Structure 1
Amino acid sequence: MQNKYFLKFLCLQVFLINTAVVFQGHAQAPASGQISLNDLSAFKTPSANWSIAGSVVADFNKVNTISKKDGQGILVNIPGKSKNEDLFTNFEHGDLDLNFDFIMPKESNSGVYLQGRYEIQLLDSWGKDNVTNSDLGAVYQRWDESRSNGQFGYDGVAPRLNVSRAPGLWQHLHILFNAPKFDAAGKKTANARVVKIELNGVTIIENADLQGPTRGSAFAEEAASGPLRIQGDHGAVAIKNINYKTSVNPAIVDGSKRVWDENDKPVTVDVKGEPVVFRSFVDIPGKRVTHSASIGYPHNISYGYDLDNGAIYQVWKGGFLDASPMWLSRGDGNARPIGSVINLSDASSLAILNTTTESWPDTLADLVYRPKGYELDEQGYPTFKYIFNGIHVNDKTTANEGKSLTRNISVDGPAPKNLYARAAVGSDITEVGDGLYSVNNFEYYVQFDKGTKPVLRTTSKGKELLLPVKNTDKGTSVQYSLIW
């Protein structure tokens, strides 16, 4: 009997030692925190493809290319010729409320695995009309090669909208995750669950039941906890501002439901095959635009135009408009973009400057600006017309499928020598190359045609990109593209 009990005791000791070895460095995550990116000490045995940087540029044009500069605060994966491995946190988590910013170059592919088991896809999905469970923000599919040929992949969850931004721009992902639950005997009592995923401020997935690990899981079996894992063997990616909490409310209300009617059905304005111009009030930070035209184009790209100032004041991707507030009770005349919005300036796009150091006017004096409505071309694209300081102006913006908007501002007759158009204003504007400029630290791009020479200037409020409106034998106009 003594030998029997001694043998059991010895086996228990060996089990505990082995368990300690397996989980060494994988403590349970604190209730909340931020993963320090001063170095790689938050991660277990990082391979050579991982590093820490102070700044990065993920290339808009070159496939899978990131450049970096020394410093702290950004986690960078640059796959090389040697072995490229995934990255695991030293802590393990169960439920998780995770936020982080990320940036990817053209055609890059990566992913974040919750508990090392359930992949949320990171991919360059810019401009795609129809997204799948392989696109940015999706819950990647499970995999079983014992299933029928062509059906190995199953149970993935695609985003409801594509709000992905262009390569080389910073994006934001927010994930709410409930871990699987187990009883005292180790039997699973509840599946893992994605409560909600928000990409660039828009809910794209909610209430997704995860019946098992997705393809590429680091572990064959499910468990109550596991490390956060970032894919390192596919494409280049950079990540910063990784914040988390380990408490998640399983009954989060869908944040995409704003103001709906009494039947709990949204009153939406959709784009079906041709452009739509919709007049309403629109609320923007600090202001209500009372004379707004919202223009929706096919391929899920839209913009807002202020008819009082001749300004494109916001752009977005996703759906078109939620007009529910216009029909709720007596209505307030307000419509709201359905998608990820980038706010631009609401000031006039044109100004007469005596010098290039003169401040851009925030408002227009009386009688300087007179709106003259708009005309539609054969494709349904509107050209907004107005008189500015006696100058007859035509303002037309067209779409490059779901990827960019190209704006052309032309003048009837000769323009004064000191007439300028402002293409962008921001806290930071940096030339990236080949006529491409990033605005607000890679929030969006402005692209100019070859040979165009914009004026990049510093003001008391930040930076501005100006275009002189010159008279040529081909007419008087300026043109640029907004890319995001």
Structure 2
Amino acid sequence: MKLYKSTLLIFLLVFSSSVFAQEGEPTKPEATETYKPVPPKVVPGKNGAPPSDALVLFDGSDFDEWISSGDSTAVKWHLNKDGSMTVKDKTGNIQTKRNFGSFQLHIEWSSPAETQGEGQSRANSGVFMQKRYEIQVLDNNNNSTYVNGQVGSLYKQSVPMAMASVPSGEWNSYDIIFHAPKFSKGGNLEEPATITVLHNGVLIQDHFEIEGPSEYIGWPKYEPHGKAPLELQDHRDNSRVSYRNIWVRELD
């Protein structure tokens, strides 16, 4: 009987050790190698060109991807010979004809070389994700304002980690990773939107959890919504901000 019990105990120990080895850390390199799914091939753009899978929203030739936000009529901003567009004061915001969820966005902007105004009245515009969540465009070169409203801020919510603007009149770039919020069928917020921003290659917003739509007065409050346009702001103070080279890669 003792021999039987000893043999059974040895068997159980060997069996449990074998099971643990199977469920524990792999002992062969191929056990940790994954072959599917294979990522799609994307050809990077050269010399400022968009990548091969990008949707070009503005290349300087026309406003075919855009409409006026207020009444959905043709864009009234200036289309310039250098491949840019410039805000035409008091003609209203413009927005994309298409709706977007989560995306990677590249956009370039410049303020006038000859500065006018001060504070929030100097080259003020904005890039609105889903017509709600604003990354501020502003000339803050030798021009201070409230820091949660300065260039690169998520307006009235998140102060940028750095002020990375080039001199007034030169071209800035924003590279934005935006993940749209998620709502339940009942309209409750399940996941807040997040945003990451590089300003001229400098990280200024690092996966910030957006608290709700950007508000000039009051606290941000989420309301359920689906995909929506990208919007560019006419701040109605002769901002003269220009934009160019706008493209997007959809992430959902």
Q: Is residue 57 of structure 2 the alignment partner of residue 35 of structure 1?
A: yes
Distance 2:74 2:184 in 1: 34
Corresponding residue number in structure 2 for 1:95: 102
- Given that 2:124 and 2:137 are in contact with CA atoms closer than 8 Å, whether structure 1 keeps it comes out as yes
Give the C-alpha shift of residue 33 in structure 1: 1.0
Corresponding residue number in structure 2 for 1:191: 192
TM-score (normalizing by structure 2): 0.65
Give the C-alpha shift of residue 212 in structure 1: 0.9
Corresponding residue number in structure 1 for 2:151: 136
Give the C-alpha shift of residue 187 in structure 1: 2.7
Corresponding letter in the other structure for 1:238: S
- Given that 2:97 and 2:229 are in contact with CA atoms closer than 8 Å, whether structure 1 keeps it comes out as yes
Corresponding letter in the other structure for 2:65: A
Structure 1 residues 129 and 104: alpha-carbon distance in aligned structure 2, compared to 1, 3 A threshold: closer
Distance 1:211 1:228 in 2: 18
Moved over 3 A (4+): 127-131, 219-222
Structure 1 residues 47 and 242: alpha-carbon distance in aligned structure 2, compared to 1, 3 A threshold: closer
Q: Is residue 247 of structure 2 the alignment partner of residue 243 of structure 1?
A: yes
Structure 1 residues 209 and 241: alpha-carbon distance in aligned structure 2, compared to 1, 3 A threshold: same
Structure 1 residues 34 and 162: alpha-carbon distance in aligned structure 2, compared to 1, 3 A threshold: same
Corresponding residue number in structure 1 for 2:211: 211
Deviations 1:90-131 (A, max 9, x none): 001110111111111222111011000001000001146897
Count of residue correspondences:
181
Corresponding letter in the other structure for 1:42: E
Corresponding residue number in structure 1 for 2:88: 78
Corresponding residue number in structure 2 for 1:200: 200
Structure 1 residues 229 and 176: alpha-carbon distance in aligned structure 2, compared to 1, 3 A threshold: same
Distance 1:46 1:134 in 2: 30
- Given that 1:94 and 1:115 are in contact with CA atoms closer than 8 Å, whether structure 2 keeps it comes out as yes
- Given that 1:181 and 1:188 are in contact with CA atoms closer than 8 Å, whether structure 2 keeps it comes out as yes
Distance 1:138 1:197 in 2: 9
Deviations 1:320-378 (A, max 9, x none): xxxxxxxxxxxxxxxxxxxxxxxxxxxxxxxxxxxxxxxxxxxxxxxxxxxxxxxxxxx
Give the C-alpha shift of residue 185 in structure 1: 3.5
Structure 1 residues 231 and 130: alpha-carbon distance in aligned structure 2, compared to 1, 3 A threshold: closer
SS in 1 for 2:174: strand
Correspondence 1:418-457 to 2 at 5 A:
none
Quote the sequence identity (%).
27
Distance 1:176 1:215 in 2: 21
Corresponding residue number in structure 1 for 2:140: 125
Distance 1:165 1:131 in 2: 20
Greater shift, 174-183 or 208-217, is seen at 208-217
- Given that 1:34 and 1:242 are in contact with CA atoms closer than 8 Å, whether structure 2 keeps it comes out as yes
Structure 1 residues 101 and 221: alpha-carbon distance in aligned structure 2, compared to 1, 3 A threshold: same
Give the C-alpha shift of residue 247 in structure 1: 1.4
Distance 1:244 1:180 in 2: 18
RCO greater where, 1 or 2, for CA within 8 Å and sep 6 or more?
Answer: 2
Corresponding letter in the other structure for 2:178: F
Corresponding residue number in structure 2 for 1:51: 78
Distance 1:216 1:222 in 2: 20
TM-score (normalizing by structure 1): 0.35
Corresponding residue number in structure 1 for 2:37: none
- Given that 2:63 and 2:75 are in contact with CA atoms closer than 8 Å, whether structure 1 keeps it comes out as no
1:233 to 232, 235, 247: 235
Structure 1 residues 43 and 129: alpha-carbon distance in aligned structure 2, compared to 1, 3 A threshold: closer
Deviations 1:298-321 (A, max 9, x none): xxxxxxxxxxxxxxxxxxxxxxxx
Larger strand fraction of residues: 1
Distance 1:202 1:220 in 2: 29
SS in 2 for 1:157: coil
SS in 1 for 2:230: strand
Correspondence 1:263-274 to 2 at 5 A:
none
Distance 2:214 2:224 in 1: 11
Structure 1 residues 128 and 180: alpha-carbon distance in aligned structure 2, compared to 1, 3 A threshold: same
Structure 1 residues 215 and 86: alpha-carbon distance in aligned structure 2, compared to 1, 3 A threshold: same
Question: Any unmatched runs of 5+ in structure 1?
Answer: 1-30, 56-72, 142-155, 249-484
Question: Any unmatched runs of 5+ in structure 2?
Answer: 1-52, 68-72, 116-121
